[in-house]
């Protein structure tokens, strides 16, 4: 029991440090469903590991009804794991979560395969996943990575990267140590660049360059088709033209008889 209470103390201190709404350890202990879900998971994971899967799943289901958070008993959770708000969080059977990881409400660590083996994500230490984000498949989310709210991650994420969008694209990348020093709620801040917006700006610049090139080519074509002053001076006047055989020349007016 000593490790349980030691981990519980660490979890409470971690929540107080990361959540400005927490007013003290007693409030966290009795009023935070994310902490309750982790406490229940410690029990269900022990039962699962000792070949009592039915009882583990039964207690896990009770925990889901009480907290609104579904954590499969087979999932592996690290130390100081914080689920903020928590409603709608789903963590699959083969998910592996490192130390100091933070999830917000609506997050899914799901699987996309029907295979029995590894099919859920692995989150290394210090990862932050914003609300509504979906991390799907046996992916590796590197240490210190941040997943923005409502992002859909379908490929591995390098350490220290910030991912946003659907599908998720990298907005920036920092050293994992820097990410741990500067905790960001919900994974991103307002100053983070939008990768989709950056792509659209690049397309806009290319369109402007193409428009300038088209105008330049049109100007050259107009100059080539318009005769200059020298060409206008050489316009033929009809002198020296040959008259076709059998045709009359130009008619001349005859004077009227008086």
Same domain, 85 and 205: no
Question: What's the CATH number where 64 sits?
Answer: 2.160.10.10
- Can you give the chain as a three-state secondary structure string? CHHHHHHHHHHHHHHHHHCCCCCCHHHHHHHCHHHHHHHHHHHHHHHHHCCCHHHHHHHHHHHHHHHCCEECCCCECCCCCEECCCCCCEECCCCEECCCCEECCCCEEECCCCCCCCCCCEECCCCEECCCCEEECCCEECCCCEECCCCEECCCECCCEEEECCCCEEEEECCHHHHHHCCCHHHCCCCCCCHHHHHHHHHHHHHHHHHHHHHHHHHHHHHHHCCCHHHHHCCCCCCCCCCCCCCCCCCCCCCCCC
User: Hunting for tokens 């009359």 — which residue is that?
Assistant: 248
By residue range, what is the domain housing residue 65?
A: 2-191
Same domain, 198 and 143: no
Q: Is residue 13 part of a domain?
A: yes
Q: Is the pLDDT of residue 166 over 60?
A: yes
**Span 72-115, pLDDT tens digits:** 999 999 999 999 988 999 999 999 999 999 999 999 999 888 88
Per-residue pLDDT at 211: 87
Query: Domain end: 147, 173, 191, which one?
Result: 191
Q: Is residue 228 part of a domain?
A: no
Query: Domain end: 132, 167, 191, which one?
Result: 191
pTM comes to 0.70
Same domain, 154 and 215: no
Q: Is the pLDDT of residue 55 over 80?
A: yes
Same domain, 92 and 149: yes
Q: Is residue 153 part of a domain?
A: yes
Same domain, 79 and 200: no
Q: Is residue 60 part of a domain?
A: yes
Number of domains in the chain: 2
Q: Is residue 25 part of a domain?
A: yes
Query: Domain end: 168, 191, 214, which one?
Result: 191
What value does the mean pLDDT of the chain take? Answer: 83
Q: Is residue 240 part of a domain?
A: no
Q: Is residue 141 part of a domain?
A: yes
Same domain, 176 and 202: no
Q: Is residue 120 part of a domain?
A: yes
Per-residue pLDDT at 207: 87
**Span 191-206, pLDDT tens digits:** 566 666 666 777 878 8
Q: Tell me the percentage of the chain whose pLDDT exceeds 90.
A: 50
**Span 102-159, pLDDT tens digits:** 999 999 999 888 888 899 999 999 999 999 999 999 999 999 999 998 999 999 999 9
């Amino acid at each position: 029991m000593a490790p349980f209470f030691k981990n519980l103390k660490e979890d409470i201190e971690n929540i107080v440090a990361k959540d400005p709404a927490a007013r003290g350890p007693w409030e966290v202990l009795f009023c935070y469903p994310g902490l309750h879900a982790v406490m229940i998971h410690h029990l269900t994971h022990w039962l699962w590991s000792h070949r009592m899967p039915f009882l583990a799943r039964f207690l896990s289901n009770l925990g889901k009804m009480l907290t609104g958070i579904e954590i499969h008993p087979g999932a592996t959770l690290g130390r100081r794991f914080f689920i903020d708000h928590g409603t709608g969080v789903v963590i699959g059977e083969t998910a592996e979560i490192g130390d100091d990881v933070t999830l917000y409400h609506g997050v899914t660590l799901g699987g996309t395969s029907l295979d029995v083996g590894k099919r859920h994500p692995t989150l290394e230490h210090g990862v932050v996943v914003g609300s509504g984000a979906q991390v799907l498949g046996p992916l590796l989310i590197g240490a210190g990575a941040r997943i923005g709210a409502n992002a859909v991650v379908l490929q591995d994420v390098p350490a220290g990267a910030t991912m946003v969008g659907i599908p998720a694209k990298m907005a920036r990348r920092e050293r994992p140590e820097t990410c741990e020093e500067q905790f960001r709620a919900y994974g991103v801040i307002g100053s983070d660049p939008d990768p989709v917006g950056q792509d659209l700006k690049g397309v806009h610049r290319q369109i402007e360059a193409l428009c300038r090139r088209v105008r330049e080519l049109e100007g050259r074509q107009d100059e080539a088709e318009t005769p200059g002053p020298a060409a206008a001076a050489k316009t033929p006047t009809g002198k020296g033209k040959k008259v076709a055989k059998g045709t009359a020349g130009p008619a001349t007016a005859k004077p009227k008889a008086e």
